[in-house]
Chain A
């Protein structure tokens, strides 16, 4: 087991419109990327638990050319709800850094 942060060179998060946020995990090597991709069956459940969303509501993309994994998650509350803490979802990637991958 190792954390996402050890398998990527750059992870970012951002809004994708007011109702979705999206996380891009950029890997450096095919090996690291494949390791995340191999976990794709168990990944939705883990990410769903981490971000407290329904696992079937998310979208996962594996961009082989870019060695990049993209995860899009519906926001629990729309962007800018009254007690928003991250208007652009720019810091939401931090949670996923420690996610353990087989």
Chain B
């Protein structure tokens, strides 16, 4: 099959980069086989993409071939007794939850959106609010099939001696096209969590709450007011939760509202951001306490609004997500927050979370023990990039690194400094595959 069609409709979630690409959408396994070989034979190489929730350019291949995987979404097998599921890589977590929850199972790790494919979750080795408890997504992959552009198919397990499994988990789709994956799901009684929100003032309070909560709660994360200065610096709402014994298995609903058009660029400015953050803190602080909550509102609050990325206007936005190791976490995060507050930029959803010590299986997996900070910045061009350069210096000095799934700008030096296993990874790259991200950082 050929059927590659030129289009510029595929863009990253942050929408800063828009690229013309030749896209094919296979629906059957034999079509995938043909598409991977053909993509690999093209001079600009190929790349498989899922639901395009990566913010930067790791899911783009300008001028090259792109295999859109979401049409391959079939389950191969699911055992409701053991919670082992094998499915095509294009299946979404949204669909997987719909399949598993009625039988009392839930994905062991979910990121902040249900709209990621299994292949995408593996290629970015995504993490969730339970990183300290369950590690990354890749830890729960029992087996996967990798289709290479030379026509070969490799079935890989975590104990794969060749290193290709470790390169593929977190490998940004560069080691081959993940055709299917087998996952171990987690036992869940129902669809609900017992959650608790606690207002905190200052980073010391955050670290104290986090240290205490990782022992008692499976899920933790904090929202921080990234506009808070002076005595409000580092204030926020700490959320922690455990799956509830409540047996009701109510599934989530599709998005109720969708942002139909690009918002005016001026909507999110320093003034509205300050107002929003202050209001949000006051509201959440007033409502702090324990409650039962559905998984959809705990894990995927933004999924309720379709195409929310349009809120940042036509110029799009960046996300900056870093992790810094425990020894330097306190000072580095304080410095980052001070810089962000001084800039007046930053987002409505700034997230701070402590990663645990469970090792990630992938050579290029982002999570490592320490503290991660994630927030969105509207794209204002040069001033935004200058601000990020200052952040980079702080992160690098602290021995931290950035998340490729969120990045759209760092250079080779910054990437290599954060990922010491890059040299071990590089030999596993499929020569027929590449991405804008990879072209930028590999040199």
Q: Do A and B come from one complex?
A: no
Chain A interface residues (CB < 8 Å from chain B): none
Q: Which residues of B contact A (CB under 8 A)?
A: none
